[in-house]
């Protein structure tokens, strides 16, 4: 009976364990494309740029509405005593007066030096610019994701290298201990092997810490919660080297036609030119059409409230012309400022083009250099690996000192790190050149 109970408890335990595993699926593996798509939808910098675009839409709508007439209603109730003027009949009386006034009035600007039209055009340009500014922020997030993703992969592979080095150095400590006990090596050789193992353990801890730091950076770009797990997808080890069929001038020209910051700079110049037109409009007169409807009641009149509202009903229609003569040089200063801002906007455009050219030039030169470094680093890694394996065999046979073995291992480690760095830099610059040509980033 006891045996049956034990078997039953084991079966139930396995069942509940399976249920727990099924209820806790493994964490999602994020590809680069997954990270980019998610970040574009959730990153707060992108959301802030979208809100700026929404504000520009509101400003554009408000500017268009400035062509429309306004409409205001008014109502007042007053009491006066003694010598006063009847607010309805305008008669001079000496009495107590209760009066009521209601009315509506409206005005519309017929001409204002084309300032309204130019303001609408400027706000439309600013709206278009905000669309491109949003694209600029999206591109920045894409590039940040790309760089951080590759750095994370680099640090992840560095952990593997550090783990392998630690395993190898721990085995070497055991061999050194056996040789020390056999009296074939000095104590200093054994302690040097221990020191190398401790150094490799330190490097492993540092590599894991670097990996976690990059994971934190990537999670912040994705706007993930701090406690949420994040595991990224590895990439194909056998990636082709960069095929630079295009020269950097061709890539630069494509970048000028593709990157939104270029068009945003051009729109900034156009908006500044409209600001100049708006400022010049201040020298011209303003013509407005005004109108109002009103009525009222006064207590000194013996007729009823409704009769007075009917009798006192009035309508007004008029034109108002305002001619600027001297406003303490405010308009002149506004025109000069607007002219300076046009020049500043043009300089900003030139600066943007210079920045783009520098980015393309840097990515192109680094791409050329990195693909050569990949070839050299891979050859160095293979040679260092063979040399380290030979050194291990010689050490086992007692034909090599611990110092020489440590040097061989460090040489191999450095060769691995150099190859790893060259590989990911090659991938990074290849993707940057694809990006500057308007192509999608994908691994």
Residue 11 lies in a domain: no
Give me the pLDDT at residue 16, please. 45
Q: Which residue among 323, 350, 384 closes a domain? A: 323
- pLDDT band, very low/low/confident/very high, at 240 (cuts 50, 70, 90): low
| Tokens read off for 66 | 């400035």
| Tokens read off for 183 | 């009296």
CA–CA gap between residue 172 and residue 392 (Å, rounded): 9
Q: Which residue among 323, 347, 371 closes a domain? A: 323
The total of other beta-carbon atoms located within 10 Å of residue 5's CB is 9
Mean pLDDT of 218-223: 95
Q: Which residue has the tokens 């010598």?
A: 83
Q: Give backbone dihedrals phi and psi of 71, rounded to 5 degrees, phi first.
A: -150, 125
Pair (106, 117) in one structural domain: no
CA–CA gap between residue 258 and residue 252 (Å, rounded): 10
Q: Give backbone dihedrals phi and psi of 77, rounded to 5 degrees, phi first.
A: -130, 130
Within 13 Å of residue 104, how many CA atoms lie on the same side as its CB? 6
Give me the pLDDT at residue 25, please. 59
Residue 441 lies in a domain: no
- pLDDT band, very low/low/confident/very high, at 20 (cuts 50, 70, 90): very low
Pair (205, 85) in one structural domain: no
Pair (92, 145) in one structural domain: no
Pair (165, 224) in one structural domain: yes
Domain count, the chain: 2
pLDDT (tens digit per residue) in 347-359:
999 999 999 999 9
Pair (277, 294) in one structural domain: no
Q: Which residue among 307, 323, 339 closes a domain? A: 323
Domain limits for position 296: 74-110+288-323
pLDDT (tens digit per residue) in 102-141:
999 999 999 999 999 999 999 999 999 999 999 999 999 9
Q: Give backbone dihedrals phi and psi of 162, rounded to 5 degrees, phi first.
A: -65, -40
Q: Provide the whole-model pTM.
A: 0.84
Question: 233: domain CATH number?
Answer: 1.20.1600.10
| Tokens read off for 148 | 């951080």
Give me the pLDDT at residue 81, please. 76
Residue 395 lies in a domain: yes
Give me the pLDDT at residue 182, please. 85
């Amino acid at each position: 009976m006891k045996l049956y109970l034990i078997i039953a408890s084991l079966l139930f335990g396995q069942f509940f364990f399976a249920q727990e595993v099924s209820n806790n699926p493994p964490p999602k593996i994020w590809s680069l494309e997954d990270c980019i798509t998610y970040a574009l939808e959730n990153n707060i910098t992108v959301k802030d740029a979208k809100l700026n675009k929404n504000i520009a839409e509101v400003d554009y709508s408000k500017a268009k509405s400035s062509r429309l007439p306004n409409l205001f209603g008014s109502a007042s109730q007053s009491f006066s005593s003694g010598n006063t003027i009847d607010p309805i009949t305008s008669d001079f009386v000496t009495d107590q007066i209760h009066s009521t006034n209601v009315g509506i009035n409206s005005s519309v600007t017929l001409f204002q030096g084309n300032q309204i039209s130019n303001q609408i055009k400027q706000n439309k340009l600013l709206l278009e610019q905000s669309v491109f500014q949003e694209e600029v922020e999206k591109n920045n997030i894409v590039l940040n994701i790309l760089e951080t993703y590759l750095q994370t992969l680099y640090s992840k592979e560095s952990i593997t290298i550090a783990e392998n080095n630690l395993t190898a150095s721990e085995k070497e400590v055991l061999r050194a201990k056996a040789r020390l006990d056999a009296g074939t090596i000095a104590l200093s050789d054994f302690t040097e092997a221990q020191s190398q193992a401790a150094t490799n353990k330190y490097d492993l801890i540092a590599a894991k810490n670097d990996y976690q730091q990059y994971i934190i950076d990537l999670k912040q770009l994705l706007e993930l919660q701090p406690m949420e797990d994040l595991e990224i997808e590895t990439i194909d080890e056998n990636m082709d080297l960069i095929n630079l069929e295009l020269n950097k001038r061709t890539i630069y020209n494509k970048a000028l036609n593709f990157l939104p910051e270029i068009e945003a700079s051009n729109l900034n110049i156009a908006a500044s030119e409209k600001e100049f037109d708006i400022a010049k409009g201040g020298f011209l007169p303003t013509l407005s059409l005004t109108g109002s409807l009103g009525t009222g009641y006064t207590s000194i009149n013996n007729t009823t409230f409704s009769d007075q509202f009917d009798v006192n009903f009035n309508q007004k229609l008029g034109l108002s012309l305002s001619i600027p003569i001297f406003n303490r040089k405010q308009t002149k200063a506004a025109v000069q400022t607007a002219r300076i801002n046009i020049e500043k906007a043009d300089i900003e455009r030139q600066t943007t083009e210079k920045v783009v050219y520098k980015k393309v030039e840097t990515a192109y030169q680094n791409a050329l250099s990195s693909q050569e470094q990949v070839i050299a680093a891979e050859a160095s890694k293979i040679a260092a690996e063979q040399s380290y394996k030979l050194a291990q065999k010689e050490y086992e046979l007692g034909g090599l000192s611990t110092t020489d073995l440590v040097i061989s291992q460090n040489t191999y480690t450095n060769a691995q790190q150099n190859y790893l760095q060259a590989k990911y830099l090659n991938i990074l610059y290849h993707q940057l050149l694809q990006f500057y040509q308007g192509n999608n980033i994908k691994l």
